């Protein structure tokens, strides 16, 4: 790989709420229709700079969910409109996508050249981001987003980078097929370019998200995914000088992602909670939910690869495949099954909003806004998110195992790297 210049922007903004995510969905569908199926999501946007809001089928959905509780009236007023709009936007996106279910990648010479150029750009951005990422971020990435077979046996950052380089360098060395080549040869070349481009983009986005998460964890005084610290959080005191130690519920709600209109007068009263505890909880929930929304954008970065199989990302979770071609790469001649990866991508895009902590936390706080509630939530959210992360690693191992066709797929196989990166 060529040496990159400049330093990556690891402070890319990741959170702006569901509206940003749904706008991105609509823009992606429209732009892909105009491009006649080129598979582009946002060709000019730098990886990691997004603003986030959000049989044989194997579920990558996380089994550990926040407990369901009766929704208080005031929370209904805060969330109902936003969630209805979210569901409507997802439904419309799926309907639009369903009209393109038979779309495949164009295989003319200009399109192949375009795919290769996008691969080169993705590889350059990946190298720049990896080389500029803190060691703690790369270590966390290798634990949660690089292939492993057992707990405690994770790739080192050096080994992880070598595995990625192996794939990228092999693709760089692969010549384009001649104009007279068969459709099958051209499709295989295009699929491999889309696969490697999506892998590069996914890793780049994850590294940027982990760097942002680490910054929030250190400032918020919590530790998750091996990032952050348990030191006291940075506390913003009220400017009016009133009640410097206690935080009202209405103030706490402002720390979390917006979920629709609410009236502060409806939630004021009922006492206050020590400001450092409320700040820590709000910072933790906001950072975790931002990472959850990142799952959707990682999924969107694979739409070109999904297109190669004539599948629509928004409906891929329920796709009935008819003898799909296996996945290979220039570095791996051992084939892997594409179906589980594509279904996992579709489910990730579809269900990420269901795993948000904000609604559950606000429900609990609205029912009882006191120090004991906040302490319990801090413990519950932290333990719950650690369980989710561990469960997700186990599920990815199972997906890789089930994706083997002729023989087991190694940790450096492109399918293994792809599954773990999402």
How far is the C-alpha of 318 from the C-alpha of 173, rounded, in Å? 36
How far is the C-alpha of 273 from the C-alpha of 252, rounded, in Å? 9
Is the distance from CB of 328 to CB of 378 less than 8 angstroms? no
Residue that wins the pLDDT comparison between 177 and 103: 177
Is the distance from CB of 97 to CB of 314 less than 8 angstroms? yes
What CA dihedral angle connects 420, 175, 337 and 402, to 10 degrees?
A: -40
In what helix (H) or strand (E) does residue 6 lie, and over which residues does it extend?
A: none
How far is the C-alpha of 125 from the C-alpha of 205, rounded, in Å? 10
pLDDT value, residue 230: 66
How far is the C-alpha of 70 from the C-alpha of 120, rounded, in Å? 51
Mean predicted confidence (pLDDT) in 192-200: 98
Mean predicted confidence (pLDDT) in 31-60: 39
Mean predicted confidence (pLDDT) in 109-137: 97
How far is the C-alpha of 162 from the C-alpha of 212, rounded, in Å? 24
Is the distance from CB of 203 to CB of 277 less than 8 angstroms? no
DSSP reduced 3-state for 246 = strand
| Lowest-pLDDT choice from 63-67, 194-198, 205-209, 396-400 | 63-67
Q: pLDDT tier at 281 (50, 70, 90 boundaries)?
A: very high
Instruction: List, as one string, the DSSP characters of 9-69.
Output: -TT---B--HHHHHHHHHHHHHHHHHTTS---S-TTSPTT---B--------S-S--PPP-
Instruction: Quote the tokens at residue 404.
Output: 């083997």
Per-residue 3-state assignment (H helix, E strand, C coil) for 373-389 = HHHHHHHHHHHHHHHHH
E strands, 227-305, in order: 227-228, 246-247, 273-274
DSSP reduced 3-state for 328 = strand
Residue that wins the pLDDT comparison between 267 and 73: 267
Work out whether the CA dihedral 135, 136, 140, 141 comes out positive or negative. Answer: negative
Domain boundaries, the chain: 18-36+57-421
DSSP reduced 3-state for 81 = helix
Mean predicted confidence (pLDDT) in 98-109: 63
Mean predicted confidence (pLDDT) in 280-306: 94
Quote the pTM value: 0.75
Checking if the pLDDT of 257 tops 50, the result is yes
How far is the C-alpha of 332 from the C-alpha of 174, rounded, in Å? 12
| Average pLDDT over the chain, rounded to an integer | 78
Closest to 329 in 3D by CA, of 188, 202, 200: 188
3-state helix, strand, coil in the chain (%, to 5): 60, 5, 35
pLDDT in tens, 214-254: 999 999 999 998 888 766 565 554 545 444 579 999 899 98
pLDDT value, residue 244: 58
């Amino acid at each position: 790989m060529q040496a990159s210049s400049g330093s990556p922007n690891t402070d890319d903004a990741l959170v702006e709420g569901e509206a940003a995510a749904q706008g991105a969905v609509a823009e992606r569908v429209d732009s892909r229709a105009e491009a006649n199926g080129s598979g582009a999501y946002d060709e000019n946007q730098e990886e990691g700079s997004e603003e986030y809001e959000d049989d044989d089928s194997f579920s990558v959905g996380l089994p550990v969910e926040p407990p369901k509780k009766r929704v208080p009236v005031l929370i209904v007023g805060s969330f109902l409109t936003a969630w209805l709009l979210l569901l409507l936007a997802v439904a419309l996106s799926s309907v639009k996508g369903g009209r393109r279910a038979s779309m495949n990648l164009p295989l003319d010479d200009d399109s192949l050249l375009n795919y290769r150029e996008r691969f080169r750009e993705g590889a350059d951005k990946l190298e720049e981001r990896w080389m500029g990422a803190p060691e703690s971020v790369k270590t966390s990435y290798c634990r949660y987003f690089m292939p492993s077979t057992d707990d405690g046996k994770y790739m080192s950052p050096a080994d992880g980078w070598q595995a990625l380089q192996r794939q990228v360098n092999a693709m760089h060395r692969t010549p384009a097929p001649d104009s007279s080549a068969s459709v099958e040869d051209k499709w295989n070349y295009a699929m491999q370019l889309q696969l490697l481009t999506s892998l590069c983009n996914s890793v780049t986005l994850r590294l940027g998200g982990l760097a942002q998460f680490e910054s929030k964890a250190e400032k918020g005084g919590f530790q998750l995914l091996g990032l952050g610290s348990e030191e006291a959080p940075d506390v913003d005191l009220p400017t009016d000088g009133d009640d410097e130690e206690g935080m009202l519920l209405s103030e706490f709600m402002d720390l979390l992602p917006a979920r629709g209109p609410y009236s502060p007068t409806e939630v004021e009263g009922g006492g206050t909670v020590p400001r450092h505890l409320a700040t820590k909880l709000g910072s933790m929930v906001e950072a975790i939910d931002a990472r959850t929304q990142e799952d959707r954008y990682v999924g969107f970065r694979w739409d070109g690869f999904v297109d190669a199989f004539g599948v629509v990302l928004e409906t891929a979770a329920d796709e009935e495949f008819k003898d799909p071609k296996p996945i290979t790469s220039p570095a791996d001649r051992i084939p892997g099954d594409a179906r589980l990866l594509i279904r996992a991508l579709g489910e990730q895009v579809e269900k990420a909003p269901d795993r948000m902590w904000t609604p559950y936390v606000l429900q609990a706080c609205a029912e009882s806004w006191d120090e004991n509630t906040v302490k319990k939530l801090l413990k519950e959210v932290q333990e719950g998110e650690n369980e989710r992360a561990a469960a997700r690693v186990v599920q990815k191992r199972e997906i890789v195992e089930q994706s083997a066709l002729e023989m087991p797929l190694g940790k450096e196989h492109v399918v293994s790297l792809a599954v773990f990166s999402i």
